[in-house]
Structure 1
Amino acid sequence: MGNISSHSKHKRSAIKIQEFNQIESEQERQEKLLDFYLSTSIDSIDRTHMYHFIRAFLFQSNFSSPIEDKLIEGGCKVLDIGCGAGTWLLDLSSKYKYSSFFGIDIKSVFPQKIKPSNLEFIEADVTNGLSFRDNEFDFTHVENMSLIFTPDQWDLVLSELVRVTKPGGYIEIGGRRNCYVGDGPIFRKISDTLWTSCSKRNVDTNLIYNLDSRLKLQQNIGKVHRFEKDLIIGPNGGKIGIVYQDLTFAYYTSEMAIKSLSEEIGISEEEYKNMVEKDFIEELKQTSPECVHVRFWTQKQF
């Protein structure tokens, strides 16, 4: 997002002050909305931790690439892009003590001091490119970034993942399909509003589910493997469905979600809260919305 004031200097005389203020206000709103997706609040961090363990349970592993023997052996160098609170890296670095782990995020949500000695966090914007050398990592990873990267940014991220991965090393990407099968009208209304708000930042929320097609266009990679796991959100999905319902509910009732999504729908914050806290929860008892999670992995060629 650029600086609207500097970008518009040559047009300022042709734009009414009122129109200019509307443009500026919209940019500010989108920047605040992006802050919501990159939230550093305690509640957001807790949701990140919980979501990590849900994904690990679904796939029965923290990753699908065949890299575990090298991790156990030691000397393996791992990079996680968009690491957030660092849950994935904290889990792996504690288990594979003889390998090295690096996490990058635009915000320092990750722990600064209390962490394993084989783990390092770096505050940086990956969309500006990575500062690492070519062929530096044995395993590169990115997950849960479907609401953040635009299509152009995804192309850059993929090319950077390939660049910094060693020949013979592995690249893995994870996410979920951002639409649901079997959802009711309330859930669909809320989730569609979220996808619409993302599209205003030029984020294609459906891209992640078919990102393997873009990964295949990168140079020096082998076969792209795809794994899918699904769950039912709500009580009809068993214990994991209830846990995921609680996670979804916590997300949609966060302060920023209430403010931004109620505005996007065009209702009051109180009406929005009633819809989520009453109608949405009641609807989940009657429906079985399916959420599909996906992982892609490939090996960089020699």
Structure 2
Amino acid sequence: MPWWVFRRRRSVPASRATGQVVAESAALPPLQGERRFLQEQPYMLPKDLGEVNRLDFQHYVLRALLRANYLAPIGQPQRILDVGCGTGQWAFELCQQFPQAEVVGVDLEQVKATTPPSNYRFVQGDVLRGLPFADASFDFVHQRLLTSALPLAAWPEVVRELARVAAPGGWVELVEPGLGLRVTPAGPANEKLLSMGTQLAAQRGLDTEGAVARSLERYLQEARLVNVYMRTVEAPVGEWGGRIGSLLALDLREIWKAISTPLAAYFNLSQQEVYNLIESANQEWNSLRAYCSFIVGYGQKPFTP
């Protein structure tokens, strides 16, 4: 097994004048294969057309599971920010829901070549290096499913950065998987696949044990947000769980397939062996009636410091 030297990014407090979060560079192990990976970022999943399609699909699954695009009591916001906006689909739907609002999406790059709503604006940026907005700029700040993108050590400062750009009385909402890629109960194929995935993620400084989900409430509170609320949503994984279960199983399979080449290379396996393991895990989801969970947390920026 190759040995990679990894130096985890170390965040330092954001400047209130510039909003910049300074991070040390990291020597990251390459993620190679036929998919397109960002080699200079901790992000473990690809950035290509296949991932665009999966992210849109995942958006619809989450919306069906939560029965909403957000849970915070946001009222009628005038400015909305989606951090790590991906394909922009969540933001596009907020544009339709709040036509009076300006909706801004921030990500490393714009990945979907479509004509966005007139009240949508994309801004290229990296939350690890600070959001390019002034303090108190947005009535609603949204971020979800970035445990595969943000180093564990950076999370407290990232949430403080989200709170920095929220306006007084505005809301910050986070959504993350409760157990990462783990499902429960998990059979031997799932356990082996998870062990491989967590080792690969650990090389990039990412959360491998569900620490982010367990800490969301604390992150929000340490960012000096009030009226913090947490909700856990459990969902079946597999055809046994009906439509939602089937959709989540498909999403999980596509996630594992997306990193199958790096897994095969790292553990000296053939790609077919990894595919066989994924299929065995899929069968276990049904036979064991597996579940996964998502954690939604939100808090409000106080009106007075």
Question: TM-score, normalised to structure 2's length?
Answer: 0.82
Q: Match for 2:229: what amino acid?
A: H
Give 2:125's aligned amino acid.
A
User: Match of 1:133, SS?
Assistant: coil
Q: Which residue of the partner structure matches residue 275 of structure 1?
A: 277
Hey, what's the Cα distance between the residues in 1 that align with 2:145 and 2:31? Answer: 23
Larger Cα Rg: Structure 1 or Structure 2? 1
Whether the aligned pair in 2 keeps the contact of 1:136 and 1:166 (CA below 8 Å) is yes
Shift of 1:267: 2.1
1:70 aligns with 76
Equivalent residue, structure 2, for 1:18? none
2:166 partner amino acid: T
Q: What residue number does 1:81 align with?
A: 83
Residue 264 (str. 1) matches residue 266 (str. 2):
yes
In the other structure, the counterpart of 2:204 is 201
Distance in 1 separating the partners of 2:272 and 2:58: 27
Deviations 1:83-118 (A, max 9, x none): 11111101111222111100100122144x501010
Q: Matches of 2:194 and 2:40 in 1, distance apart?
A: 15
How far apart in 1 are the matches of 2:296 and 2:273?
37
Segments of 5+ residues of structure 2 without an aligned counterpart are: 8-26, 33-37
Contact kept? 1:110, 1:121, Cα under 8 Å: no
Residue in 2 that maps onto 1:13:
none
The equivalent residue for 2:173 is: 172
Q: Which has the higher contact order (CA 8 A, sep 6+)?
A: 2
> 1:149-298 alignment to 2 at 5 Å?
149-177=150-178, 178=180, 179-205=182-208, 206-210=210-214, 211-219=216-224, 221-254=225-258, 257-277=259-279, 279-298=280-299
**1:44/1:35 Cα in 2 relative to 1: closer, same or farther (>3 Å)?**
farther
Q: Which protein has the bigger helix share? A: 1
CA distance in 2, matches of 1:60, 1:3: 40
CA–CA separation in structure 1 for the residues paired with 2:43 and 2:134: 32
Aligned to 1:94: 96
Paired residues, number? 272
The equivalent of 2:56 in structure 1 is: 49
Q: Distance in 2 between matches of 1:3 and 1:235?
A: 39
Contact 1:143–1:173 under 8 Å retained in 2: yes
Task: Supply the distance in 2 between the matched residues of 1:244 and 1:276 (Cα, whole angstroms).
Answer: 14
Counting only pairs closer than 5 Å after superposition, residues 95-174 of structure 1 correspond to structure 2 as: 95-111=97-113, 114-174=115-175
Contact 1:54/1:240, CA 8 A, preserved across alignment: yes
1:2-34 Cα shifts (integer Å, max 9, x gaps): 999xxxxxxxxxxxxxxxxxxx8x734596495
Where does the alignment leave 5 or more consecutive residues of structure 1 unmatched?
Answer: 5-23
Pair 1:244–1:28, CA change in 2 (3 A): closer
| Partner SS state of residue 275, structure 2 | helix
| Contact 1:175/1:209 (8 A) holds in 2 | yes
Give 1:152 deviation, angstroms: 3.2
For 2:73 and 2:31, how far apart are their aligned partners in 1? 43
Counterparts of 1:50 and 1:35 in 2: how far apart (Å)?
23
The answer (yes or no) to whether the contact 1:103–1:122 under 8 Å persists in 2 is yes
- 1:172 deviates by 0.5
Shift of 1:208: 2.3
The alignment partner of 1:180 has SS state of coil
Residue deviations 1:138-186 (CA, integer Å, cap 9, x gap): 0001101011111332122111111111110001001112132212111
Equivalents in 2 of 1:94, 1:247: separation in Å? 26
Distance 1:38 1:86, change over 3 A: farther
Is contact 2:42-2:151 (8 Å) kept? no
Superposition RMSD on alpha carbons, in Å?
2.4
